[in-house]
Amino acid sequence: MDLIARISNHFRDAVALFEHCQDTLSAPTAAAVDALVFSLTNNGKILACGNGGSAADAQHFAAELVGRFERERLPLAAIALNTDTSILTAVGNDFGYDRVFSQQVNALGQPGDVLVAISTSGNSVNVIEAIEAAHSREVRVIALTGKGGGKIGQMLTEDDVHLCVPHDRTLRIQEVHILLLHAMCDGIDAQLLGDL
């Protein structure tokens, strides 16, 4: 296969997955928007976490909320738990890397907040521990996963929202995750700015 054909296959695969997810993930993404808006309009905050590419997505999401997405509005309370290197290295060194997010959820999370937990495999131990901490603190969870949802999919409650991308390749899952995060940002802005 030549390089152009290989690249074309990426476009075809992504388009097919996006179309499938349009049918399966639009309704739960709307539920996620409702949960986020409810929290933000009731003095809550958004905590987000993930590893690697998912860490970048968590940071991107928090930046869109604190800064702006596409339109001017007041800044929204959001924190990416994977950005403070002093906390990450202190907790990792003293307690182990599995607790780098749960320690922060326990320190910062309040009832009514939302944790956006991102793991393409659904099996990231530190994200799982963050979800456990969130549940113990009455923090609602929006989980973005793939590959069937993994352990995270099995531990979510009926109050949580699970956005599981039906694919096994990490790059495809990440592509859909960023679309879902952008859709959530747009939905938040639409509700807060009166477009809905």
Binding residues for Zn(2+), by number, are 60, 64, 174, 182
- What are the distances in angstroms from CA 103 to CA 36, 76, 138? 22, 23, 15
Per-residue tokens: 87:
């906390």
Residue set of the binding site for substrate: 51-53, 64, 93-94, 119-121, 124, 174
Dig out the tokens for 133 from the structure: 């901490």
Binding region = 51-53, 60, 64, 93-94, 119-121, 124, 174, 182
The answer to whether 133 touches 141, Cβ cutoff 8 Å, is: no
Helix (H, G, I), strand (E, B) or coil at 75: coil
Separation in Å, CA 95 to CA 45, 117, 137, 190: 26, 20, 20, 41
Encoding tokens for residue 193? Answer: 């700015």
Rounded to 10 degrees, the C-alpha dihedral 122/164/112/78 comes to 80
Look up residue 107 and give its amino acid: A
